[in-house]
């Protein structure tokens, strides 16, 4: 008779799917016993061993079939596929979703500039002191650094306070175009950060769009014409623009551009209601071109930077900038 505890241990191993059980020393030891036992007992003991062996094979085969029959698991599914449909988490239906109003607006603005021959590139959301300040003509200790107070890691990496951090990269990465007689024409939308006192028009995290154009014989008239063309297309009507002198270390001369408020958005006929201060701009400072490896005696260029939120607010009469990051569906569903 086969020792029942040994047979039980072998069955357990087979139930766990252990394929080596058929070649195990325990099973082999039974055949060794068979060889040394009296001839008259061999027949029945040999049959017992064969029966056990067959039983183990069957257990292993049924175990294998059960594993094959399990549904495969989709590791990308947001729930376990074995969960019954009724118990699955209720995720938001994509059919009810929509692009965030800022994403929609950035796409519209980029589309207008793409039709005017500009290439679009997203700005970086983490940068360094060189791109945030040095390359933009704010040397160490420059008082205007205080106007761009933002967040910094202990290693000295900076959350950029404006998309102008991309100027040096764009110009130096594309200076071969100038040598080929082509201009550098880029728009750079992106998320920017400032250490601000928050209110209805000031956020700590907002979006800007930078524009850069460098080539031969580029002058401020071209800057005005470019921005006016864009604004007319954006607002869908012919609007006047005006420049007021301003100061940025990275442009010289620098301006603030105001656009005539579209008629439907004017509350009265006052001069104050007529103009909207919209963006900062100017002719790229020769030092900025030089630091990007471009000779300012040969090439000139203009740049501008506009806040996206404030423009969308103005267009849609949104009273508080903080709605954009609030994730309130009541607000988002209006777009």
Contact residues toward ligand FA5 (CB under 6 A) are: 162, 164, 194, 196, 202-203, 206, 208, 210, 248, 251, 279-282, 303-307, 309-310, 321
d(C-alpha 275, C-alpha 270), whole Å? 9
Residue 27 or 123: which CB sits closer to ligand FA5?
Answer: 123
Phi-psi group of 327: left, alpha or beta (phi > 0 → left; psi -120 to 50 → alpha; rest → beta): left
Q: Which is closer to ligand FA5, CB of 10 or CB of 166?
A: 166
Residue 259, SS3 per DSSP: strand
25-46 burial, b at 16+ Cβ within 10 Å, e below that, comes to: eebeebeeeeeeeeeeeeeebe
The residue (of 13 and 310) whose beta carbon lies closer to ligand FA5 is 310
Nearest approach, Cβ of 84 to ligand FA5 (angstroms)? Answer: 48
Closer Cβ to ligand FA5, 10 or 123, answer by number: 123
Considering the complex, state which of residue 194 and residue 323 has its C-beta at the smaller distance from ligand FA5: 194
Q: How far is the CB of 277 from ligand FA5 (least distance, A)?
A: 7
What residue has token string 């049959």?
47
Burial label for 292, CB within 10 Å (0-12, 13-18, 19+), is buried
Distance CA 294, CA 287 (A): 9
Closest-approach residue to ligand FA5 (CB): 307
Query: H/E element holding 307?
Result: strand 300-307
As measured in angstroms, the least distance from the Cβ of 227 to ligand FA5 is: 11
**Least distance from C-beta 271 to ligand FA5, angstroms?**
20
């Amino acid at each position: 008779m086969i020792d029942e505890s040994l047979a039980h241990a072998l069955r357990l191993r087979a139930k766990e799917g252990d394929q080596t059980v058929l070649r195990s020393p325990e099973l082999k030891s039974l055949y060794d016993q068979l060889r040394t036992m009296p001839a008259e007992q061999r027949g029945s003991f040999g049959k017992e061993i064969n029966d056990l062996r067959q039983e183990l094979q069957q257990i292993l085969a049924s175990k294998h079939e059960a594993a094959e029959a399990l549904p495969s698991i989709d590791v990308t599914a947001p729930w376990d596929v074995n969960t019954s449909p009724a118990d699955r988490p209720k995720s938001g239906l994509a059919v009810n979703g929509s692009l965030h109003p800022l994403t929609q607006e950035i796409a519209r603005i980029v589309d207008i500039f793409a039709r005017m021959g500009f290439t679009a590139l997203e700005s970086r959301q983490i940068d360094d002191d060189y791109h945030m300040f040095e390359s933009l003509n704010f040397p160490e200790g420059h008082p205007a650094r205080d106007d761009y107070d933002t967040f910094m890691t202990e290693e000295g990496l900076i959350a950029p306070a404006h998309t102008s951090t991309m100027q040096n990269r764009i110009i130096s990465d594309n200076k071969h175009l100038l040598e080929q007689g082509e201009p550098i024409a880029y728009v750079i939308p992106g998320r920017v950060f400032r250490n601000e006192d928050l209110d209805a028009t000031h956020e700590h995290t907002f979006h800007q769009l930078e524009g850069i154009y460098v080539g031969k014989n580029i002058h401020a008239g071209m800057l005005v014409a470019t921005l006016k063309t864009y604004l007319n297309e954006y607002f869908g009507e012919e609007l006047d623009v005006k420049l007021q002198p301003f100061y940025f270390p990275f442009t010289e001369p620098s301006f603030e551009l105001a656009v005539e408020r579209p008629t439907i958005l004017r509350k009265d006929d006052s001069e104050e209601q007529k103009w909207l201060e919209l963006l900062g701009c100017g002719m790229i400072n020769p030092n900025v071109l030089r630091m990007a490896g471009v000779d300012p005696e040969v090439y000139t260029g203009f740049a501008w930077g506009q806040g996206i939120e404030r423009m969308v607010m103005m267009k849609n009469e949104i009273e508080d900038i903080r709605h954009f990051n609030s994730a309130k569906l009541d607000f988002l569903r209006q777009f």
